[in-house]
Chain A
């Protein structure tokens, strides 16, 4: 929360002139809009409280977070472990399991260990400054090699932890298991989470959208005005929109302040309800050995998803659903358009070459918005809660 700025909204005034604040927190860009400018400070306070709680519960990079504690309990355990968790973490895990179920496992919260093994084991801002080891990690598919002892024998018990790097020497080959989401269960009412041995959960594919939904609804409910909450570009709206058209949002490859010029094709759309989320392989890229990696992993291979789409944006009834669908679409590659259409989810897909495809009610882009595409977007510079 080092940077903060407030600016008047640019939307045409119909019912209210919205006011916005933009700042960085948890390694991502936060955007907050309210239709009643007098309530911006109170809205900001509510959102700050929610983000702090979210960080304590769900951060993969914070050593004292609940999620890291779960990983620590699972590390070296002889079998599945059940740990007490807060309601917030339990709900976040539940949302991630639902996402996994509805995407046939394309969005899987048990990829955390592999994500760390690939080098994304700290806040993204720190990641770029680190010289990564030449460790070679081999990933095991769910259902193929699920014996937790293999993970322990391979060194998960004494190896990487959040912020500690891979911990292996040059040339080391270590086996990383993706246990699969079905091996995780949560009882929200009882506040208990059961995970397999050695698992490191990563809720990054779902938690931002879900948190945006929660906070937008909470602020709108508490303050009685229209609210937009964007957490790293995952945007939820609640309450009455500022104009008849809704909240105008610029969709692009990376989430940047509006003052920053975007790379690649952009489009301004408006939403009145629900959420809009964008997943991109053009953001959060890092180098490992001779490879350029990105943060969206295919759980079936343990490797970054094949680069079919550079960016997928989806509108849904909730930001959590939009986030889930956008991430799954990146992983599904060429199968994504048919899948999104079957769900009637309005979506915008940008190919690696910059070609834009609009589906299921997403407004067709105007020719002027088809800017020249730059595949390599080096604009990313910060991490998030993943």
Chain B
């Protein structure tokens, strides 16, 4: 009986040991998998950040092209020297001479790639007019 119980204890110990080894191995595998996953996740985050940064760079480049005097329709179109314009496809019409003045909001609009709506719509005026607008006469 003693022999049996010792053998039983020994077998039981061996099983426990094997179980611990397996558990340790599984934990190690899980850690490895987690590490791999985290690394992949980090890589994806990095890629996303890189992409975002690229778009930001392009947007900034486009904005610079739009406000720089001399980035003209023809020079951008014909010579292709303006990398910002060609890469973004925006502001191809360049800036115009109205950039010579600082106080007018028309400067940015006249170089934009679309006809620009006003900052505020016209209002119905109850008072008398101060000027007229009609077909040229």
Q: Which residues of A contact B (CB under 8 A)?
A: 9-12, 18, 20, 28-29, 31, 33, 87-88, 90-92, 94-95, 97-98, 101-102, 185-190, 194, 208, 210, 213-214, 216-218, 220-221, 228, 230, 232-236, 238-239, 242-243, 245-258, 262, 267-284, 295, 311, 313, 315-321, 324-325, 343-346, 360-364, 366, 379-382, 384, 386
Return the contact of B137 from the options A217, A267, A380 (Cβ within 8 A).
Answer: A380
Q: How far is the CA of A271 from the CA of B103 in the complex (A)?
A: 17
* B78 pairs with A102, CB closer than 8 A: no
How far does the alpha carbon of A249 sit from the alpha carbon of B114 in the complex, in Å? 25
* Cβ contact within 8 Å between B137 and A255: yes
Provide 13 A-B residue pairs closer than 8 Å at the C-beta atoms, listed in order of the A residue: A12-B127, A91-B96, A95-B97, A188-B97, A210-B110, A238-B104, A256-B132, A268-B127, A269-B123, A281-B135, A317-B117, A346-B121, A363-B124
* Interface contact B73-A97, CB-CB below 8 Å: yes
In the complex, A269 Cα to B135 Cα: how many Å?
16
Picked from A271, A283, A319, the residue with its CB within 8 Å of the CB of B136 is: A283
Residues of B88-122 contacting chain A, CB below 8 A = 92-94, 96-98, 100-107, 109-111, 113-122
Query: CB-CB < 8 A to B109: which residues of A?
Result: 274, 316-318, 320-321
Smallest CB separation, A15 vs chain B (Å): 14
Chain A residues near B129 (CB-CB < 8 A): 10, 248-250, 258, 268
Contact of A217 among B72, B78, B103, B123 (CB under 8 A): B103
**Which residues on the B side are within 8 Å of A217 (C-beta)?**
98, 101, 103-104, 106-107
B5: Cβ under 8 A from any A Cβ: no
1/0 per residue, CB under 8 A from A, across B41-81: the answer is: 00000000000000000000000000001101111011000
Q: What is the CA–CA distance of A258 and B130 in the complex, to the nearest angstrom?
A: 8
When distances are taken between beta carbons in the complex, the residues of chain B under 8 Å from A268 are 124-129
- B130 near A254 with CB under 8 A, answer no
Interface pair A102/B134, CB less than 8 Å apart: no
Q: Which residues of B contact A208 (CB under 8 A)?
A: 136
Where the two chains meet, the residues of B that have a C-beta atom closer than 8 Å to any C-beta of A are: 69-70, 72-75, 77-78, 92-94, 96-98, 100-107, 109-111, 113-137
Q: Are B74 and A363 in contact (CB under 8 A)?
A: no
8 tightest A-B contacts by CB?
Answer: A280-B135, A217-B104, A91-B97, A283-B135, A361-B121, A185-B74, A250-B129, A317-B116
Main secondary structure of the interface of A (DSSP, over half): mixed
Shortest Cβ gap from A340 to chain B (Å): 9
Q: Are A249 and B131 in contact (CB under 8 A)?
A: yes
Known: A214-B100, A366-B124. A251 touches B93 (CB 8 A): no
Known: A214-B98, A270-B123, A380-B136. 20 other contacts (CB 8 A): A11-B130, A28-B136, A94-B94, A97-B73, A97-B93, A189-B72, A189-B75, A239-B103, A245-B125, A249-B131, A249-B132, A252-B132, A253-B135, A256-B134, A269-B123, A315-B118, A317-B106, A317-B117, A363-B123, A363-B124
CB pair B75–A315 under 8 Å, yes or no, is: no
Residues in A with CB closer than 8 Å to B96 are: 91, 94-95, 98, 210, 320
Q: Which B residues touch A98, using CB under 8 A?
A: 73, 93, 96, 110-111
Chain A residues within 8 Å of B137, by CB:
28-29, 232-233, 254-256, 283-284, 379-382
CA distance A9 to B115 in the complex (A): 31
- Chain B interface, >50% SS class: loop
Complex CA distance for A97 and B77, rounded to whole angstroms: 12
**Bound form: Cα–Cα A295–B75 in Å:** 31
The answer to whether B72 touches A9 (Cβ under 8 A) is no
Residues of A within 8 A of B103 (CB): 217, 220-221, 238-239
With A and B bound together, what is the CA distance between A386 and B137 in angstroms? 12
| Known contacts A94-B96, A270-B122, A361-B121; A319/B106 CB under 8 A | yes
A194 to B75, CA, bound (A): 11
Using known A-B contacts A320-B106, A345-B117, determine if residue A284 contacts B72 with beta carbons closer than 8 Å.
no
In the complex formed, the residue of A with least CB distance to B119 is A273
State how many angstroms separate the Cβ of B2 from the closest Cβ of chain A.
96
Closest to A9 in B: B130
Which among A18, A268, A380 has the greatest number of chain B C-beta atoms within 10 A? A268
Q: Which residues of B contact A254 (CB under 8 A)?
A: 134-137
A102-B114, A273-B120, A324-B115 as given contacts; A186 in contact with B133, CB under 8 Å: no
Say yes or no: B135 contacts A316, CB within 8 Å.
no
Is B132 touching A213 in the complex (CB atoms < 8 A)?
A: no
CB proximity of B18 to chain A, nearest CB, Å: 74
